[in-house]
């Protein structure tokens, strides 16, 4: 009864209140801790026994099923760990991977009578009054609830999500133990990482408590849908508010295939590489444009629809990034790919991976040595896992820490990359992410992005012609990318008061090192001339000129004359 009261009195995660409660109930903590240790000790001993008996290959499927059953018995916290691991084919052997995948939506359901009672209690009406029909058994059972397929009296087909009973008391005890363990093992971890482990647990706890509030999930879904309202490739189910409460969520039914169901996806004639691009690009939009991102995108929450769209169906675990954080993430990606390790070290300070008083001078060569090797000779030579693995090495020698919010971001990125790897084992996340960043920079629709483009194009006061070429080439890899709007925005910016510095720098760049850089200009013109036809370019120029006054025209005449070499040499 005490645990129930604790859960009911704390609708939001409060680690101090939870700690006060269990401090005076050590028997509950001891029993749970012993249960966890007992299960995993038996599993580890079984692995060693198989090794001693040379029966590893023979018993591998048995051990994989054993691990899945252990995580299932230990409950939602451990199931979520298994769900994260199930998306990493490069980390987990296939026999374990196949079993852990079942944790996404093949968990044991709870009794239907209890589920229907929860529906009626939460919505204050009978199941028959709400739905004209509802499946007798759940169509999917997940870590925190289970889903029924139903139809409203108005005819719409819906999914009805019902929360597992007595969930909060189980979560509070597990989170208390995780927080206690984080504090206990911190002295054995490198540098500041241990200090941040409690913060990571608290962030996870906060998000977990938000996830079990279905009203909050419904609000998240509508906000997510608003962000992607102009993207026809992303589907978000509609919410039926009249039939939604804290522990019951009614939403539009989605027909589709899990992203790990490769056979069904191919039989439906869907392009796996296109699905990968949609998923990764949508993930980058969430982080770098909207700032509102899905922190739990495992395959049970993502579906490929028959028409080629990707549908998100679970919005319980979400997080919000500030404008500064979004901008700094763009900077970090650009600096990483361009191998600007001084700037990258400064980005780590802004993002919270290093404290402001950290001396970054000795860290820069370490970043260059470790991350430079991970990146290799080409931007297509690395994946996110290689970066995180290499970055983890730095934590042993330098005062890096993982900010609590970034634990969710890293988990989200690793999970998305894992899904993509299951569709295409040769997938490289940077092959999709950097072209996206290049297009964002070249479009430059905000002052912040325009400043970042200038930071990319100028280094130590010198114009980086090769970087501009690379950005254009990479952006043009996307056939849907139209350079004309970019040219129009760029010309308007160049002719504006804000672009005064850029005009001066471009004039200097054209005559840098006491020579006229016609060869570099010609190379860039050759890249864009196919898209910037004379009639289209003239329209762009006229539109841009209408944005400035006659006085400004006289000021920019020299720069216009300088660029007149394009058509002459062509």
Q: Are 313 and 285 in contact (CB under 8 A)?
A: no
Nearest by Cα to 183 from 191, 200, 195: 195
Give the end-to-end CA distance of the chain in Å, rounded to a whole number: 83
Residues with Cβ < 8 Å from 339, sequence gap 6 or more?
Answer: 368, 372, 375
The Cα–Cα gap between 253 and 259 comes to: 17
DSSP letters of 120-179? Answer: HHHHTS-HHHHEEEE-SS-SEE-SSEEEEEEEETTS-EEEEEEEPTTHHHHHHHHHHHHH
Q: Assess contact for 279 and 259: CB atoms under 8 A.
A: yes
Question: How far from 29 is each of 3, 26, 410, CA to CA, in Å?
Answer: 12, 5, 30
Establish how many alpha carbons lie within 13 A of residue 310's alpha carbon, considering only the half-sphere containing its beta carbon.
28
In angstroms, what CA-CA distances link 443 with 15, 492, 511, 562? Answer: 45, 12, 26, 23
Q: Which of 174, 196, 202, 296 is labelled catalytic? A: 296
By the 8 A CB rule, do 142 and 177 touch? Answer: no
Active site residue 105: no
Helices (H), 306-403: 323-337, 341-351, 363-375, 384-394
310-312 vs 234-235, strand pairing mode:
parallel
315 three-class SS: coil
In this structure, are residues 120 and 245 in contact, taking their beta carbons and an 8 Å threshold? no
The Cα angle at residue 338 between residues 332 and 343, in degrees rounded to 5: 45
Q: Are 329 and 288 in contact (CB under 8 A)?
A: yes
d(CA 259, CA 130): 32
Return the axis-axis angle of helices 404-423 and 76-85, rounded to nearest 10°: 50
Query: Would you list the DSSP string of 477-493?
Result: TSTT--HHHHHHHHHHH
Asked whether the beta carbons of 259 and 271 are under 8 A apart, the reply is no
Residues 6 or more apart whose CB falls under 8 angstroms from that of 387 comprise 336, 371, 374
Question: In this structure, what DSSP letter does residue 275 have?
Answer: H
Nearest of 255, 257, 175, 260 to residue 212 by alpha carbon: 175
* Total residue count of the chain as it appears in this document: 570
- List 362's β-bridge partners, or say none: none
Residues involved in catalysis: 296
């Amino acid at each position: 009864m005490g645990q129930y009261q604790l859960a009911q009195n704390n609708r939001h995660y409060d680690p101090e209140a939870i700690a006060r409660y269990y401090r005076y109930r050590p028997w509950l903590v001891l029993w749970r801790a012993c249960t966890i240790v007992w299960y995993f000790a038996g599993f580890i001993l079984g692995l060693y026994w198989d090794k001693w008996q040379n029966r590893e290959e023979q018993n591998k499927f048995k051990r994989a099923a054993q691990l899945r059953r252990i995580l299932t018995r230990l409950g939602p916290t451990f199931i979520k760990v298994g769900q994260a691991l199930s998306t990493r084919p490069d980390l987990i052997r296939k026999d374990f991977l196949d079993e852990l995948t079942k944790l996404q939506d093949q968990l044991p359901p709870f009794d239907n009578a209890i589920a229907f009672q929860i529906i009626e209690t939460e919505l204050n009406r009978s199941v028959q009054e709400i739905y004209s029909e509802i499946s007798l058994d759940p169509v999917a059972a997940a870590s925190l609830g289970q889903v029924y397929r139903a139809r409203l009296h108005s005819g719409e087909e819906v999914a009805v999500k019902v929360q597992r009973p007595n969930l909060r008391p189980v979560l509070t005890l597990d989170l208390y133990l995780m927080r206690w363990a984080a504090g206990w093992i911190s002295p054995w971890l490198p540098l500041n990482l241990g200090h941040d482990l409690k913060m990571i647990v608290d962030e996870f706890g906060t998000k977990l408590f938000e996830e079990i509030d279905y009203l909050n999930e419904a609000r998240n879904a509508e906000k997510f849908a608003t962000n992607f309202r102009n993207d026809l490739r992303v589907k978000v189910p509609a919410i039926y508010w009249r039939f939604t409460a804290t522990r019951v969520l009614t939403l539009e039914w989605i027909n589709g295939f899990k992203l790990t169901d490769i056979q069904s996806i191919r039989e439906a004639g869907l392009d796996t590489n296109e699905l990968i691009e949609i998923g990764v690009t949508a993930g980058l939009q969430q982080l770098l444009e909207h700032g509102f991102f899905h922190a739990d995108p495992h395959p049970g929450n993502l579906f490929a629809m028959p028409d080629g769209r990707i549908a998100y169906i679970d919005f319980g675990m979400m997080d919000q990034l500030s404008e500064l954080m979004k901008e700094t993430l763009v900077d970090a990606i650009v600096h990483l790919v361009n191998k600007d390790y001084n700037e990258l070290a400064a980005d780590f300070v802004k993002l919270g991976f290093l404290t402001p008083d950290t001396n970054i001078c000795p860290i820069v060569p370490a970043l260059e040595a470790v991350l430079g090797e991970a990146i290799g000779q080409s931007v297509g030579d690395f994946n996110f896992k290689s970066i995180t693995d290499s970055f983890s090495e730095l934590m042993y020698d330098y005062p890096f820490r993982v900010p609590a919010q970034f634990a969710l971001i890293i988990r989200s990125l690793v999970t998305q990359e894992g899904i993509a790897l299951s569709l295409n084992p040769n997938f490289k996340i940077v092959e999709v992410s950097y072209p996206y960043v290049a297009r964002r920079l070249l479009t430059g629709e905000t002052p912040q992005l325009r400043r970042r483009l200038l930071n990319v194009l100028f280094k130590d006061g010198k114009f980086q012609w090769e970087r501009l070429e690379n950005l254009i080439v990479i952006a043009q890899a996307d056939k849907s990318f139209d350079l004309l709007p970019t040219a129009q925005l760029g010309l308007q910016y160049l002719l504006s008061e804000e672009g005064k510095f850029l005009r001066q720098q471009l004039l200097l760049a054209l005559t840098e090192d006491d020579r006229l850089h016609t060869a570099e200009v010609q190379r860039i013109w050759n890249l864009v001339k196919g898209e910037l036809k004379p009639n289209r370019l003239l329209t762009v120029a006229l539109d841009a000129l209408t944005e400035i006054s006659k006085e400004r025209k006289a000021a920019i005449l020299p720069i216009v004359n300088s660029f007149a070499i394009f058509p002459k040499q062509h």
